[in-house]
């Protein structure tokens, strides 16, 4: 069954002139058929320059919207329209505007895990890979950072700027099970624990390094350590095993994003067959958001 779906996806992909982009949190079978697997920053950069006329985005809604913002002339398909992001949903335009009224001198740096209309009201977007660099490049010493409070706190501790941090969190990372991480460390005493900055600060205190997923890939590549405990969404364990078959990886913290698992091979197939669901945004919002998203893609990590 799976082989048949995979070969049908491949031939339809060619027929439609499509490229399949998958986030590193996607299930193994989706990562395996993707043309590119990566974090939001890498996938956004690919979306901005791809020559394919159709982008099949295997991730969650804000990621597909970001691809559409950067490549409005392409058709962007999100095979499961219900693949949302509770972190993105915890911020809205009126609430951000009232924070901006409180701190009129601050520039807003918005984690890309956010709705398009909120991006349109921000100075720049960032990902976990380049959050500090984006903050440092913003021409103000005062920053509103939204919506992830853990990432905001992590960045604020490394910057001399004044921060006003939105009190939102990724539901999956914020409830990371630290006891589980510690048990894994006891089982693998020679391993290094890598955690994501969306996890709570108490996880950073026990970790060997705090990194976004792109940073984790680079860190492992440069390290001579053989075993790693991965404190981020469990799809990343598969990604690292694929990239580094000579190392061992296990998940730490039981971090699982149900939305990232909503895309299936069958849904990709249906999406390519029917050319839906297409991501569309109000052109006014798309154009306004493009300035903030473009700044994100321009700032190196
Ligand atoms: O920026 C991304 O892609 C996310 C959601 C996590 C990460 O660290 O890559």
Cβ of 71 less than 6 Å from ligand 1? no
Residues 107 and 233 in one domain: no
Cβ of 128 less than 6 Å from ligand 1? yes
Cβ of 156 less than 6 Å from ligand 1? no
Dist. CA 184 → ligand 1 center (Å): 23
Judge contact between 45 and 64, C-beta under 8 A: no
CATH of the domain at 271: 3.40.50.10800
Domain that holds residue 185: 177-254
- Residue in 24, 148, 155 to alter for ligand 1 test, most ligand atoms within 8 A of Cβ: 24
Residues 292 and 148 in one domain: yes
Residues 104 and 135 in one domain: yes
175 CA to centre of own chain: 18
Cβ of 39 less than 6 Å from ligand 1? yes
Cβ of 213 less than 6 Å from ligand 1? yes
Nearest CA to ligand 1 atom 8: 212
pLDDT at 2 over 90: no
Structural domain count of the chain: 3
- The model's pLDDT over 208-260, given as tens digits with 9 standing for 90+, comes to 999 999 999 999 999 999 999 999 999 999 999 999 999 999 999 999 999 99
- The model's pLDDT over 110-142, given as tens digits with 9 standing for 90+, comes to 999 999 999 999 999 999 999 999 999 999 999
Residues 248 and 209 in one domain: yes
- The model's pLDDT over 81-98, given as tens digits with 9 standing for 90+, comes to 999 999 999 999 999 999
Cβ of 199 less than 6 Å from ligand 1? no
pLDDT at 301 over 80: no
Judge contact between 39 and 214, C-beta under 8 A: yes
Residues 197 and 235 in one domain: yes
- The model's pLDDT over 260-275, given as tens digits with 9 standing for 90+, comes to 999 999 999 999 999 9
Residues 34 and 59 in one domain: yes
Residues 74 and 220 in one domain: no
Dist. CA 127 → ligand 1 center (Å): 6
Residues 152 and 190 in one domain: no
pLDDT of residue 41: 86
């Amino acid at each position: 069954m799976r082989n048949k779906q995979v070969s049908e996806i491949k031939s339809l992909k060619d027929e439609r002139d499509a490229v399949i982009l998958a986030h590193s949190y996607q299930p193994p079978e989706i990562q395996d058929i993707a043309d590119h697997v990566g974090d939001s920053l890498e996938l956004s950069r690919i979306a901005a320059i791809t020559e394919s006329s159709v982008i099949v985005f295997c991730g969650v809604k804000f990621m597909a919207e970001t691809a559409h913002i950067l490549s409005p002339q392409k058709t962007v398909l999100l095979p499961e329209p219900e693949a949302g992001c509770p972190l993105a949903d915890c911020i809205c335009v009126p609430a951000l505007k009232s924070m901006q009224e409180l701190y009129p001198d601050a520039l807003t740096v918005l984690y890309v895990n956010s709705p398009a209309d909120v991006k349109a009201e921000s100075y720049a977007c960032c990902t976990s890979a380049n959050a500090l660099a984006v903050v440092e490049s913003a021409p103000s010493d005062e920053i509103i950072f939204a919506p992830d409070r853990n990432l905001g706190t992590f960045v604020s501790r490394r910057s001399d700027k004044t921060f006003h941090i939105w009190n939102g969190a990724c539901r999956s990372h914020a409830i990371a099970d630290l006891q589980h991480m510690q048990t894994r460390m006891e089982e693998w005493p020679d391993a290094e624990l890598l955690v994501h900055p969306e996890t709570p600060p108490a996880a950073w205190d026990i970790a060997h390094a705090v990194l976004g997923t792109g940073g984790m890939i680079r860190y492992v590549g440069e390290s001579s350590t053989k075993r790693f405990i991965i404190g981020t969404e469990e799809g990343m364990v598969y990604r690292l095993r694929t990239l580094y078959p000579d190392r061992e990886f296990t998940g730490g913290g039981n971090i699982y994003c149900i939305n990232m698992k909503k895309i299936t091979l069958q849904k990709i197939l249906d999406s390519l067959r029917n050319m839906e669901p297409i991501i569309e945004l109000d052109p006014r919002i798309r154009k306004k958001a493009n300035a903030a998203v473009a700044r994100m893609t321009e700032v190196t990590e």
